[in-house]
Every structure is written in C-alpha cells, then in structure tokens.
Structure 1
Amino acid sequence: LMSSGVYQRGDEDEGIYGFLVEDIKREIRRSSRLVILQRTLSHSNKFSTILSQHSAVMFYLLGHQAYSAALFFFRCTICNNKDKFQQEMLRMGIHIPERDASWELEENAYGELLQVYQRCDALKCISHKGRKYSTQEGSSLQRNTPGEILHTLASQISKHQFMSVVVRKDGVFKAALELLRQADFDPHHSLKVTFPDDEEQTNDMNNGNLQRFLRLLIQDLQNSVLFEGPENKKNLALNSQAVQEDFYFDAGCIIALSLIHGGPPLGFFSEALYKCLFNFPRDSHLTVEDMGESLCAAKIRDAQSVKDLKKAVSSASDYLEVAGCLRQINSLSDKQPLVKDIVNFHLVTRMQLPLKRFRDGLNTLGLFEHIQMFPEIFSDLFCYPPAKISAHTMANLFFVQFSDNEEKKKKEIITEGFWRQYLHDCEEGRCATSLEDILIFATSKDIVPAMGFNPNPSVSFVHSLSSVGTVPERQPCYNKIVLPVATTYEIFKKHLEYAVCQYTLMQTI
C-alpha cells in the first residue's frame, strides 16, 4: 500500500529518508479506507507491483542495493539503465541516497591497487634473499651446466694460498678430517697434497696427488659408516658416534671441496637421499624400496588380509612404538597410511639432524645453495655413476693441435690416425694399457671430473728433429699429451705404451 502513493518530496535530512511526516500520515489515512480483494484467477499481463509472496524479500534487497550504490551507481543489473530504473524505484518507495557509493566512501578505498605485489609465487624460488626480496636492478640468472656452476664456485679459491694435506698410512679420510679440524682451515685456499710414503716424485706431483687424493677420498666416504644400502644407491645411515663427532657435516664439506676442486662425480646417492636433501623431484614420493633392507615395513606392505596385517604390526610393535606409528588395525585400509608413516619416519624424521648437518657441510663455498636452485641438472652427478669411457668419447675429448707448416701437418695427420687406432685397440683389449690409463697419463684423472676439464684436453705433436725425443710426454697442468710423429703404427704404439705403462707403474709403487 505504501508503494502506491508516497513520494520523497523532502531532502535527505528531512523526515524519514526524504519521506515527509505529513505525506506518511496522509497515506496511512488513505490506505486505511482501502479493501483488498483476493481473486483466484491469475493475470498474464504485466504487474506494476511485486508479487505478495516475494514482496518483503525483494523490497529489502532493492533497498539494500539502493542504499549501498546510492544515486550515482544504482541502476538495473540486467540492462544497465539508470534513469528509468531509478524513477521506477522511487515510484515503488525505494529510497536512493544522494551521495557517492558506500564502497567509495571507505577509508583508503582501492588502496591495494596502488601497491605493487612484491612476493615471488613461483613453485621454486631461487632468490638468495627470499621470496619477499624485490629490486628494480640486478643481473639475469641463466641456467648453466653443472660444470659451469662449479667453475664459478672454484673462482673463490685462491691460487696463492695453500692448505697442506698429508696422507699417511691411516688413510685419506683421516687426512681429510685433520684438514677440516685445523683451527686455521679456510675452504678458499688451494690444497697441496703429499703422500710421504711415496718414493717417486715428479714435477706435477701436486696436481696428480690432489686428483688421487680426491678420488680415494670419495671411495672411502662411499664405503664409510655414514652411508648404507647397495652400491650406487646409498642412503645416509644413522650412527650415534657420527652424530657426536659431527661427521655428517664433515662428509658434506668433503663432497663440496671435492667437486669444486675438480674431483670426480659422486654417482652413489640414492634418489631418495637426493630428494631428502634437495626436494627433487617434487612430485615423487618415498617408498618402502627406498628404505633398503627393511623387513618389518615390507611385511606390513605385503599383508593381504587384516590378520596378516595385525601379525606384521605385532611383530614390529617395538619399532613402531619408537617411531610413533603404532596404532590399532581395523581394516586393510589402515595399511597404506601406516606404511607411509613408517617410510617418512625412517628416511626423514629420524634423520633430521644428520640431514641438516650434511646440508650445512654441502654449503661450503655456496655449493648447496646453487644445487638447490637447479637440482635437476645436478642429479646425474650425485645419483648415477658416470658412463664407461669409450674410444669414441676419448677421441672427441682431446682437441688435436696441428702445425701451421703444411709438410709437418701431413705427417701429424698420419700420426693422428695412429692415435685414434690406438684408442680403439685399447677399448678392445689389444694393448697393454687401458683408456683410463691414457686419461690419467694426460690429465691425472681417470674419469671426466664433475666440473669438466679446464683447460680442455688436447693432443700436440713433436717431430724427430726436436730434442724432446720419440717418447710421448705429458703436461697434466694443461691436460695435454705430446705425441712424437711416427712413420708406422707399430713404432707409435710401442713408444706410447712404454710411456703410459711407466707412469702407471710409478703410481702403484
């Protein structure tokens, strides 16, 4: 009844929201004389008023919308018409305030639009300063190879300051621990390695000794009490003495120093250990197989009935109680959550301190941080043993340097053919030396280092008129082998085998 005759003749501050008291009283008197007639027939024409069963709700909603949007923004939500819509709303008694919309009157309205979002939401943030660090300047970060990253880290090592490493009969691992426990130990210094028990010494012994030390050190570390599991799939082992002596930090530091000083790739980490350290791959899950030889977890996993599952849980109750995984078994659906908790406890929870100290050691010279940026490109160095070297790989590894003189170059091309033939004979076992022996002879390394060679290995030639003679020479500081020019393959093979075998014999004394 109110919607049929009351108009807002007043201002905002007059009456009740613009409805004058006199108009309201007049409408009350008029409406009191009206009679409502109920008809059972329904009309198909347009209604000028809202249906009775929805009138209260619709009136409230339109009134709330009008009060919120006000005069400047209140319009039809379907056709977006403003003028006609507001006239009709006024006719129906909807009050429209003459002001700005309510959301425009809020303090600091739309202030968030003036703020620049300064947080990294990438799945893997590689910023050293965290996700909230933001700057308008800086260098772009490129995805490099592991060798390039290790070379960058190696630039921190001083070539003029040395730390002495003395390897005695008690082994390379103890020599490494003595180095790390020195009060003045500085990872930014170069390493000078000596083997006092070796009777033979050569001019390049420091470089050869360093590579030999790093190679033996990684082998000893792999077979130490700090790791367990099958070969090439090692997990960290929990050892109370190692925790007390902080050997896990030492092991991480040893690995970092080895990789950055040009040592061999590891190749013995399990994928589970790599995931625990670097959370890669992110979408993979730890399984019972990652635990190694764990009979209790395997029995629980393989249980096919509730009876078998209860029996397996009962037999491992002591371990499960310590792990905090002991629970009542009601159905086979309880098996998978239990197995998941056991695996998580065995590989992660109980190894929290060793893993943390191992990561701290790996971060020597910043290695861990760089691996964490690109864990996918480092996984091969840690988890997979290097492929066996072949004659084709060796031939491509060594860059051949020919003379500028055409006459000399012709002879050198023939000798280069002898070199390739000799590599194939070594691969097929028709020589007294192996491909690894030749690589050690030229570079003092039996495999390609994790950081690659610097400089790249090369082959050069010396002619018979030179005073050097006909015996091949090695220049390991430059990763170079100098081959004498020979007229026949038999002479070439004889001289090269003699030189390599002599050096190999010296290394075994």
Structure 2
Amino acid sequence: MYTATNEYLHCRKSEINVTAEQCLQTLQEQIDESAVNKFHVIRSNILDGAVRTVKRKFFKPMASISVEFSDENGQFEGAVDAGGPTREFLRLVMHAITNSIIFEGKENKRFLTHNPIAVAKDLYYIYGTLISLTLLHGGPAFMQIHDAISLDELNDCLMDSFNFLKLAGCHTHCTNLTGKNEIIKTAMKFYTEGKSEPLHRFSLGLNQTGLLEQMKNTPNAFKMLFIANDCSDPLSGNKIIAMFSPKLSESGSNKRHRENLVLSWWRHFVDEVGEKDSECSLQGILIFATGADEIPPLGFSPPPTLQFTELSHFPLANTCSNILSIPLQHDDYEAFKSKMEFGICNSPGFGRV
C-alpha cells in the first residue's frame, strides 16, 4: 500500500491550475527503481500474466515495471524492456480491463457493475491496481466512462444500464438533464450501502499507488482521464507530425537535401492517413513507433524522434527509445507510401526492436 508522506501525496484543492500530469509526476517520483515487478505475458491473453503478477506475494505497487512478451510458440521474444514493451503492455491491459466483466455498456460508455464472479476472484481490487499502475507508468488514460451532454445521450446510457438501474431502484428514462444527478446519487447509494464490496475493493486497488487520493483532491484534473465525451481531444495528423522531431544531417549536405524531400513525403503521408486515404491509421503509426495507441497523460519519455535510414526500404522503429526511422531509398512518393503502409500495417513485430 502506498505510504508516502502527505507532502508528496496530495495535490491540494487549494492549488490553482493543478493538472493530472503534475499529480501523476508527483506519484511517479516515488517509484522505487531498485525494485522490479516482472510481467511475463502473451498478447492473446494479456490479463492472465498481469493478474498473476499482481497476485504474487512479493508484488510491490511502487516498484518499477519490466515486461517480457512470449510469442505464439511460447518463446521469449528477446526484446529488452527499456520502455517499448511496457507501453504496449499497458495499452493492451487498459483495453482488456475496459472490456472485462467488471464493466458494462457500449464502447466509451462503460460503467462499473456488480459481477459475482469478479467479486469471488477479487478482480475489482486487481483491475483497480492495474489501472493505477497504467497511469503511473505512462500508460493511456481510461477514457471510457461516458458523461452524457444531451438528453438523447443520457437516455441511451440509461437503456444500456437498464438492468442495473432497475435493480438499484433508479429511473430508467429522463425528460431533462437535471435528472442525471439524482440517478447518479441513487445508484451510488445502492452501491455503497447495498453492494459496497466491489466498489470498496476497486477503490483499494486504485489507491495502491496513491492514485485515488490524488483523484479525490483534484477531481477536475483527473476527470479528463476517465470521462469520455465529444470534447475529448482526438489524435490528429498535425499532432503526429509535431510529436516526431526530425533528426537531420548537416545543412547543405547531399544527404540533408534528400532528407528534406523524404521529410515532405512523411508529412504528406501522415496527412493522408489522417484523411483516411491510406491503409494505415494514425493510431497504427503511434503503436508502430512507440507501442502506445494514444498520447499518455505523462507524455512520452524520451520524446519521439524521426530519423532516416538507408538500411531498409521499409520503416523501422525502436519503441524503447520512441524512434521512427523512415526509408531514404525510394525514387517517388508512391513507392515510399507503399513501403510505409506495408511495414506499419504488418506490425506488431515488423521492423521493431
């Protein structure tokens, strides 16, 4: 259990302009780099290895993380975890948890529900712990709980949660948005007074790293990490272009002239991907280069870099260092685009170290 002193634990309500990133950085500073939680996992059943590790007798919530992936034949992939495997692991874990039995509802409209099997296996505590670890170690935000901003959205959410709300004694249809708060109040009373164990265990899991205390003290800062709505800032081509800082050769050199041309191709390629005029997706580019499918709340460390390679006709990536290398050999943009699409669309594994 997290036991740091209050001066490190709390981002106080009185502090103005405190962000979730600042709060997470405060917690991240308390990670014990001398201790390691090692996760042995496979992509096809990511939660199996994740749950086994959290349940280990000597698991330490504030230790660093090391991830080892096994391939389909059970062989260790061999990549040293300097960040890339961890980011991929955290992305896959968060996706798996949001689609697990402790949540119900449509995509981006998930809500915590009572499941007897999950209670028996203590999954509320375990998944709460994994969510807190994900945010603390630079993984993606949760962004699944839906905040209805229109009456139609509210009633859609109520229909998705019909069985639970009926059991809790809540109204299952509203004629105005003001009824939302009363439904939430009734549902929370049902949880805390009648079904308290899942919520209690989930809360304990979230606070294994001190995350819940930070959320209580700065709820508005963390809301953007957990509440999905139409105001969420989506990944865009401009973000991808700005994110990857190009490493160029000496100005005036022949290689620099070639790099400038290919750099313009890269930016055009990203624009086409953003316009869906490509086999790739913006998330696919990010996954290929970093192992993450979105920009983490803590950002990327080290910052993503764009390099140029003469060693391959295809893109290469070092997900530990967040380096994307794009090929210089092609004579025209169409050939460049074709090889970029092939390399990125055939990941994971292709061109990555």
Question: 1:366 deviation in Å?
Answer: 1.6
Query: Residue type matched to 1:267 in 2?
Result: M
2:290 is aligned, of 436, 440, 443, to 443
1:105 aligned residue: none
Local SS of the residue matching 1:298: coil
8 Å CA contact 2:102, 2:124 repeated in 1: yes
Amino acid aligned to 2:161:
G
In 2, Cα distance between the equivalents of 1:149 and 1:356? Answer: 23
Aligned residue number for residue 184 of structure 1: 58
Q: Equivalent residue for 2:213?
A: 369
Task: Classify 1:181/1:403 alpha carbon distance in 2 versus 1 (closer, same or farther; 3 Å).
Answer: same
**1:403 aligns to what?**
249
Question: Do the aligned partners of residues 246 and 401 (structure 1) sit closer, same or farther apart at CA in structure 2, a change above 3 Å counting?
Answer: same
Counterpart of 1:233 in structure 2 is 109
- Per the alignment, residue 47 of structure 2 pairs with 173
> Conserved in 2, the CA contact under 8 Å of 1:154 and 1:261?
yes
User: Which residue number in structure 2 is paired with residue 479 of structure 1?
Assistant: 322
- What is the percentage of aligned positions where both structures have the same residue? 28
Runs (5+) with no aligned partner, structure 1:
1-126, 130-139, 273-287, 303-337
| Residue 142 of structure 2: aligned partner | 266
1:156 aligns with 2:30: yes
8 A Cα contact 1:437 1:504, kept in partner: no
Structure with the greater relative contact order (CA < 8 A, sep ≥ 6): 1 or 2? 2
Question: After alignment, is 205-214 or 394-403 more displaced?
Answer: 205-214
Structure 2 residue 222 is the aligned partner of structure 1 residue 378: yes
Q: CA deviation at 1:384?
A: 1.3
Q: How far apart, in 1, do the equivalents of 2:348 and 2:100 lie? A: 27
> Is 1:389–2:258 an aligned residue pair?
no
Q: Deviations over 1:314-347 (max 9, x none)?
A: xxxxxxxxxxxxxxxxxxxxxxxx9898545335
| Structure 2 residues not aligned, in runs of 5+ | 8-13, 149-156, 176-181
The 1:409–1:145 alpha-carbon spacing in structure 2 relative to 1, beyond 3 Å, is farther
Asked whether the 8 Å contact 1:164–1:191 carries over to 2, the reply is yes
Deviations 1:181-231 (A, max 9, x none): 111111232222233343583645674433333222222222222223343
SS at match of 1:492: helix
Please identify which structure carries the higher strand content.
2
Q: Structure 1 residue aligned with 2:20, among 136, 146, 161?
A: 146
Letter in 2 for 1:395: I
Q: Alpha-carbon deviations, 1:34-60, whole Å to 9, x = none?
A: xxxxxxxxxxxxxxxxxxxxxxxxxxx
CA contact (8 A) 2:106 2:160 kept: no
| Structure 2 residue 171 is the aligned partner of structure 1 residue 298 | yes
**Matches of 2:61 and 2:93 in 1, distance apart?**
17
Bigger Rg, which one: 1
Structure 1 CA distance for aligned equivalents of residues 159 and 118 of structure 2? 22
The structure 1 segments of at least 4 consecutive aligned residues displaced by more than 6 Å after TM superposition are 299-302, 338-341
Label 1:183 to 1:429 Cα distance change in 2 as closer, same or farther (>3 A).
Answer: same
Q: Which residue of 2 aligns with 1:58?
A: none
Question: Is 1:195 the equivalent of 2:69?
Answer: yes
Change (3 A) 1:299 1:400: closer
Distance 2:340 2:44 in 1: 35
Q: Match of 1:39?
A: none
SS of aligned partner of 1:381: helix
Give, in whole Å, the separation in 2 of the partners of 1:430 and 1:448. 23
Figure out how many residues of one structure are paired with residues of the other and give that number: 317
Specify the SS of the correspondent of 2:145: coil
> 1:421, CA displacement in angstroms?
0.7
Equivalent position to 1:414, from 261, 266, 272: 261
Matched residues in 1 for 2:145 and 2:83: separation? 27
3-state SS, counterpart of residue 192 of structure 1? strand
- Give, as a single letter, the amino acid of the residue that structure 2 aligns with 1:209: P
Q: CA deviation at 1:255?
A: 0.5
Superposition RMSD in Å: 3.5
Equivalent residue, structure 2, for 1:26: none
Conserved? CA contact 2:343–2:350, under 8 Å:
no
Counterpart CA distance in 2 for 1:192 and 1:483 is: 28
TM-score normalised to structure 2 length:
0.75
Q: 2:194 aligns with which of 334, 350, 356?
A: 350
Is the 8 Å Cα contact of residues 135 and 141 (structure 2) preserved in structure 1? Answer: yes
Q: 2:86 maps to what in 1?
A: 210
